[in-house]
């Protein structure tokens, strides 16, 4: 063995490239509040320990301050979050930075993230389970598989994709478990909690929840769904452990630099959204003009209405195009729901159209 090879073999894991020799996996547990994610996480921790794995739960509810969640709920219910980089999103990013810091320095377990955006005590408790077990020597601990169980609602695919990106960056395993529970059971369980979530928040989340869809998003292939309306069974736990084992054995490959392809995809995506939105806006303008004629708006005011609507559409599409080109960021394998983006954009223009039409019609009463 060469001197260089011997040196690399005895380097600390973080010096030799992050998590070292140990297989590692990020497992996303997603679903409605009170669907059973925390219960499943506890069962998985116990089963993982029996297998000699190092495992820890990353509970977003405990790590992120309560006021950040409240801010998120109000903003989303009011429809004010189309692309805003909210405080709540910054807190979520801080959680993943904590996980990343541990991956980079697995032996520096006592070092806490330099961030005030998470609950430090909760993070310390989270990684406490990863401290080297007394029964294992250093070599055994280094080789023990490492599993992070990320416990959150993860109701948008983009939230889960951020975890997938982290797994790709460090060549980790990645998998998802969607806990499918009927709404009535979630509400009932939630009401028995010491600090229940407002029922209206759960109802709002039902509207927004997009469960893992491997047919639509190729990166969600390694996912399973569990029916948790009833109690978890041993079979359910076994399915999840098999999923995690598969992810540990099949780590993701780091993303290659495909900047040119990403820019081409960005252009294609933005052009498609703007074109479809333009067509939809034209139909809305035609409907508005028809409504004005039926209400006998004078010809000179009809011309004024048409000019205002077209000017409004031009300005709206200009701003939409700018935002799409400047702010849209996505990887090549992330599938974009163009139809949903177009619908949200058209809804905004429809509001502007209605205001202009109402103003003109009120002036002619």
More confident residue, 88 or 86: 88
Range of the domain at 60: 9-249
Distance CA 165, CA 331 (A): 9
- CA 286, distance to chain mean position in Å, is 38
Query: Mind listing the pLDDT tens digit for each residue in 267-305?
Result: 777 888 888 999 999 999 999 999 989 888 898 889 999
The set of long-range contacts for 334-341, using a CB threshold of 8 Å and a minimum separation of 24, is: 334/161, 334/217, 334/219, 335/216, 335/217, 335/218, 336/269, 337/216, 338/269, 338/272, 338/273, 338/276, 341/273
Same domain, 121 and 239: yes
pLDDT tens for 3-55 read 333 333 333 333 333 445 579 999 999 999 999 999 999 999 999 999 989 99
- Give the separation between CA 352 and CA 285, rounded to whole angstroms: 11
Compute the CA torsion angle 109, 114, 120, 125 (nearest 10 deg).
-10
Residue 7: per-residue pLDDT: 30
Is the same domain home to 286 and 154? no
Model pLDDT, residue 164: 95
Beta-carbon neighbour count of residue 31 at 10 Å?
26
200 within domain boundaries: yes
The pLDDT of residue 248: 95
**pLDDT (mean) for 213-240:** 92
User: Is residue 3 in some structural domain?
Assistant: no
- Secondary structure class of 353 (helix, strand, coil): helix
- Per-residue pLDDT band for 143 (boundaries 50, 70, 90) equals confident
CB contact set of 248 (below 8 Å; sequence gap of 6+) = 23, 24, 25, 145, 147, 173
Residues in Cβ contact with 165 at an 8 Å cutoff, skipping those fewer than 6 apart: 255, 331
Predicted local confidence at residue 333, as pLDDT: 42
Residues 176-201: what's their mean pLDDT? 92
Q: Do 115 and 202 belong together in one domain?
A: yes
User: In angstroms, rounded to a whole number, what is the distance separating the alpha carbons of residues 268 and 254?
Assistant: 25
Whether 181 and 268 map to the same domain: the answer is no
Asked whether residue 170 is domain-assigned, the answer is: yes
Per-residue model confidence (pLDDT) at position 83: 38
Q: Please state the rounded mean pLDDT for residues 75-83.
A: 40
pLDDT of res. 361: 85
Q: Which residue, 266, 164, 147, 276, is CA-closest to 217?
A: 164
**pLDDT at residue 69 is higher than 80:** no
Q: Which range (115-119, 209-213, 248-252) has the least confidence?
A: 115-119
Determine which of 39-43, 80-84, 208-212, 234-238 has the lowest per-residue pLDDT on average.
Answer: 80-84
Assigned domain for 106 exists: yes
Q: Same domain, yes or no, for 95 and 170?
A: yes
Q: Is residue 43 a contact partner of residue 265, using CB atoms and an 8 Å limit?
A: no
Q: Token digits for 140? A: 């055994």
Looking at the structure, tell me whether residues 167 and 26 fall in a common domain: yes
Q: What is the pLDDT of residue 362?
A: 85
Looking at 223, 249, 275, the residue that finishes a domain is: 249
Count of structural domains, the chain: 2
pLDDT at 249 over 50: yes
Instruction: Quickly state the pLDDT bin for 87 (edges 50, 70, 90).
Output: low
Distance CA 351, CA 309 (A): 12
Residues 64, 140 within the same domain = yes
Number of C-alpha atoms within 13 angstroms, CB side, residue 223? 25
Residues 210 and 272 in one domain: no
**Averaged pLDDT of the chain:** 80
What pLDDT does residue 179 have?
Answer: 96
Instruction: Evaluate whether residue 2 is within a structural domain.
Output: no
Per-residue pLDDT averaged across 197-217, rounded? 90
Higher pLDDT, 104 or 189: 189
Q: Is the pLDDT of residue 220 over 90?
A: yes
Neighbours of 306 (CB within 10 A): 14
Q: Cβ of 16: how many Cβ atoms within 10 Å?
A: 14
172 and 123 in a single domain? The answer is: yes
Share of the chain above pLDDT 90, in %: 41
The answer to whether residues 11 and 20 touch, using CB atoms and an 8 Å cutoff, is no
- Out of 191, 215, 249, a domain closes at 249
Confidence of residue 106 (pLDDT cuts 50, 70, 90): low
- Please check whether residues 217 and 311 belong to one and the same domain: no
- Asked if residue 179 lies in contact with residue 37, where contact means CB atoms within 8 angstroms, the answer is yes
Q: In this structure, are 90 and 26 located in the same domain?
A: yes
Q: List the single range of 4-8, 56-60, 172-176, 269-273 with lowest mean pLDDT.
A: 4-8
Q: Are residues 198 and 274 in the same domain?
A: no
Is 43 within the bounds of a domain?
A: yes
pLDDT value for 140: 60
Residue 192 has pLDDT above 70, yes or no: yes
- Model confidence at 187, pLDDT cuts 50, 70, 90, reads very high
Residue 263 maps to a domain: yes
Residue 90: what pLDDT? 81
pLDDT band at 228 (very low <50, low <70, confident <90, very high): very high
pTM for this prediction: 0.63
Which of the two residues, 326 and 62, has the higher pLDDT score? 62
| Structural domain contains residue 34 | yes
Of 249, 270, 295, the one marking the end of a domain is 249
CATH no. for residue 178? 3.40.50.300
Element (H, E) at 57: strand 54-59
Measured in whole angstroms, the distance separating CA 323 from the mean position of its chain's CA atoms is: 21
């Amino acid at each position: 063995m060469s001197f260089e090879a011997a040196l690399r073999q005895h380097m600390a894991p973080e010096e030799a490239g992050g998590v070292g020799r140990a297989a590692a996996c990020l497992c996303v547990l997603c679903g409605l509040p009170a669907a059973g994610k925390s219960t499943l996480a506890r069962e998985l921790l116990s089963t993982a320990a029996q297998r000699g794995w190092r495992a820890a739960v990353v509970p977003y509810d405990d790590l992120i301050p309560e006021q950040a969640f409240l801010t998120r709920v109000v903003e989303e219910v009011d429809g004010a979050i189309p692309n805003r980089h909210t405080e709540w999103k910054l807190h979520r990013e801080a959680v993943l930075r904590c996980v990343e810091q541990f991956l980079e320095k697995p032996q520096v377990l006592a070092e806490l993230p330099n961030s005030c955006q998470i609950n430090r005590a909760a993070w310390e408790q989270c990684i406490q389970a990863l401290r080297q077990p007394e029964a294992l020597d250093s070599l055994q601990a280094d080789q023990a598989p490492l599993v992070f169980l990320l416990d959150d609602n993860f109701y948008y695919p983009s939230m889960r994709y951020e975890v997938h990106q982290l797994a790709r960056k460090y060549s980790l395993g990645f998998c998802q478990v969607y806990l499918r529970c009927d709404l009535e059971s979630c509400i009932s369980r939630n009401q028995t909690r010491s600090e229940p979530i407002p029922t209206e928040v759960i109802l709002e989340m039902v509207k927004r929840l997009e469960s893992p869809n491997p047919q639509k998003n190729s990166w969600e292939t390694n996912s399973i769904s569990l029916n948790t309306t009833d109690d978890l069974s041993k079979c359910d736990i076994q399915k999840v452990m098999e999923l995690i084992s598969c992810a540990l054995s099949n780590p993701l490959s780091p993303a290659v630099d495909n900047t040119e392809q990403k820019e081409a995809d960005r252009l294609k995506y933005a052009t498609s959204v703007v074109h479809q939105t333009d067509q939809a806006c034209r139909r809305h303008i035609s409907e508005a003009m028809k409504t004005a004629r039926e209400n006998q708006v004078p010809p000179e005011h009809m011309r004024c209405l048409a000019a205002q609507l077209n000017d409004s559409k031009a300005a709206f599409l200009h701003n939409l195009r700018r935002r799409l080109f400047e702010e849209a960021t996505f990887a090549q394998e992330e599938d974009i729901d163009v139809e949903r983006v177009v619908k949200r954009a058209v809804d905004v223009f429809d509001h502007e159209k209605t205001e202009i039409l109402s103003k003109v019609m009120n002036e002619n009463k």
